[in-house]
Amino acid sequence: MYKYDTYDQQMVDNRVEEFRDQVKRRLAGQITEDQFKPLRLMNGLYLQLHAYMLRVAIPYGTLDSRQMRMLAHIARKYDRDYGHFTTRQNIQFNWIKLEDTPDILAELATVEMHAIQTSGNCIRNISADQYAGAAADEVADPRIWAELLRQWSSFHPEFTYLPRKFKICVIGADEDRAAMRLHDIGIQMVMRDGVLGGRIHVGGGMGRTPMIAPEIRDFVPADDLLSYLEACLRVYNRYGRRDNIYKARIKILVHEIGADEYRRQVEEEFIAVKALGLDPPQAEFERITQMFADPAFVADDGTAVDRSDPDFALWLDQNVKPHKQPGYAIVNISLKPQGGIPGDATSAQIDLMADLGERYSFDELRVTHAQNIVLPHVRQADLYTVWQQLDAAGLAPANLDLISDIIACPGLDYCSLANARSIPLAQKITERFADPARQRDIGELKLKISGCINACGHHHAGHIGILGVDKKGTENFQLSLGGSGAEDVSLGKITGPGFDEDGVVDAVERVTETYLGLREEGERFLDTYRRVGMAPFKEAIYG
């Protein structure tokens, strides 16, 4: 894992002092809320429906047990004993007092954490594949490049007042577990003729105008990566629309001028920028790379995992994934219990996950964009005890990627922009599909709910997506089918007129039943939908 040096630490400490001063001026009435707003937003502090919400950055979703315990401590001391893991691999605390925020940030800084650039029209927290360093299909560890981008983007002087927020994702495998092409910039690290580099996609995103990022350059050598991104961002900063907030994301620029014209401008800018010597020295790549070296794996003794406990075996089959190292496995901890709030965890649960990460996963944990937690490096011999401890804490739902593994944004229960409540709907769906055997029969089905058109719940990328809209003052839900955030990326299509809360649960059930009736051997829901199209589903829902 990356460890701060004195430069990194000083940067974060200075930021705490700066924000303490800004809060002091606000509380003393020296600055107005209007003047304070852009300052607090630069530090991830939002004023929500009921209270301040603080979003803490978890760079590329990676953290150690000490950092995880700090999150539990903050939830316990400053919030209502829980935190909410988000689709951007961050954590949000929903009940924060303004006067506590400088102390919270100071506590976070003691464990190399911060809330820098978790909001505002700047480059946000970099996201990455949650199986980085553990996946068998990995070509390069994306965390190395995500960390480099974290540093490059922190207080970047030219890109702090972009037309709109800016999200970058890095993966290092062909399988896309991070919805890479639905980011403003999506980078896939690849090897070409023995040289490491990035395949660059620009202009993806969700929101009200979802788009899949086109490829802008098939290969940028690692040595040129930052200069190339600098060029991508500069073209956007200069020519991205600023007249309309809904048209200000880079996807609109790329769409309006076309990928070819955008590429031409970037390439021209890149020639100018590359000459400036902005890219870090080779020694810096090496320094960061060393920090992500493999942990001290022990040799596989070849013992097979004992599957005699049937509940454990179900969890093993659903939530545990193969590891690149023989004798190890990747454990997914589902934060989606039946009737629960997707992504929420109590302080006690966060502490327990920290303990397990420390003891059984080389002190490493990950947060996924699907709002779950990963223990990336667990010995197969330890899987049973890890499962037992998770199960005792309500952390062992065996539902990874099943219909109850729902992504949902905070919605109208918290969010001041929401049209509808996402959380109660997610809860109802998990109740309707409570039978685990039925869920397994339906198989992989990614259901995603957003409480408004901003699409924080990634509904466009859901195999089944649900969007909350406001229909003459009442909550209404639109259903869409066929989206995917994976390497087979696609955007969902709306089925037709919307539903009330119970109506949409019924509609989801009809969709799954139609699928079960139509599927051919080995087909997931998404495969069947792609083969047969919308018509039979529409017929089942509205017919």
Contacting residues toward another protein, per CB under 8 A: 5, 7, 10-11, 14, 17-18, 38-39, 121, 151-152, 154-163, 234, 237-238, 242, 272, 276-278, 280-281, 283-284, 287
* Stretch of 2-10, 98-106, 252-260, 410-418 lying at the interface with ligand SF4 (CB under 6 A): 410-418
What would you measure as the largest C-alpha separation in the chain, in angstroms? Answer: 68
Q: Tell which positions 384-403 bind ligand SF4, by CB under 6 A.
A: none
Partner whose footprint covers residue 162, from ligand SF4, another protein, none (CB < 5 to 8 Å by kind) = another protein
- Residue 455 as a binder of ligand SF4 (CB under 6 A): the answer is yes
State in angstroms the smallest separation of the CB of 283 from another protein.
4
Partner whose footprint covers residue 27, from ligand SF4, another protein, none (CB < 5 to 8 Å by kind) = none
What is the C-alpha separation between 153 and 117, in angstroms, rounded? Answer: 9
- Residue 415 as a binder of ligand SF4 (CB under 6 A): the answer is yes
Query: Considering Cα of 393, then 394, then 397, then 401, what sign does the dihedral take?
Result: negative
Structure token digits, residue 424: 């109660």
Element (H, E) at 184: none
Give the contacts of 524 (CB within 8 A, at least 6 positions apart). Answer: 443, 444, 445, 463
Q: Of the candidates 172, 205, 376, 410, which one interacts with ligand SF4 according to CB under 6 A?
A: 410
- Residue 120 as a binder of ligand SF4 (CB under 6 A): the answer is no
Residue 155 or 297: the one with the smaller Cβ distance to another protein is 155
Contact 333, 395 (CB under 8 A): yes
Q: Of the candidates 102, 203, 411, 485, which one interacts with ligand SF4 according to CB under 6 A?
A: 411
Between the alpha carbon of residue 415 and those of residues 126, 147, 290, 455, the distances in Å are: 23, 30, 41, 12
Q: Of the candidates 106, 314, 417, 518, which one interacts with ligand SF4 according to CB under 6 A?
A: 417
Element (H, E) at 109: helix 101-109
Residues in the chain: 543
Residue 379 or 448: the one with the smaller Cβ distance to ligand SF4 is 448
Q: For the range 46-52, what are the long-range contacts, defined as Cβ-Cβ under 8 Å and sequence gap of 24 or more?
A: 46/119, 46/416, 47/416, 48/94, 48/414, 48/415, 48/416, 49/412, 49/414, 49/415, 49/416, 50/94, 50/95, 50/414, 51/94, 51/95, 51/96, 51/97, 52/96, 52/97, 52/98, 52/101
What is the C-alpha separation between 268 and 521, in angstroms, rounded? Answer: 51
Partner whose footprint covers residue 418, from another protein, ligand SF4, none (CB < 5 to 8 Å by kind) = ligand SF4
Residue 113 or 456: the one with the smaller Cβ distance to ligand SF4 is 456
Q: Of the candidates 273, 456, 479, 489, which one interacts with ligand SF4 according to CB under 6 A?
A: 456
State in angstroms the smallest separation of the CB of 461 from another protein.
29
What residue ranges bind ligand SF4 (CB under 6 A)?
Answer: 409-411, 415, 417-418, 450-452, 454-457
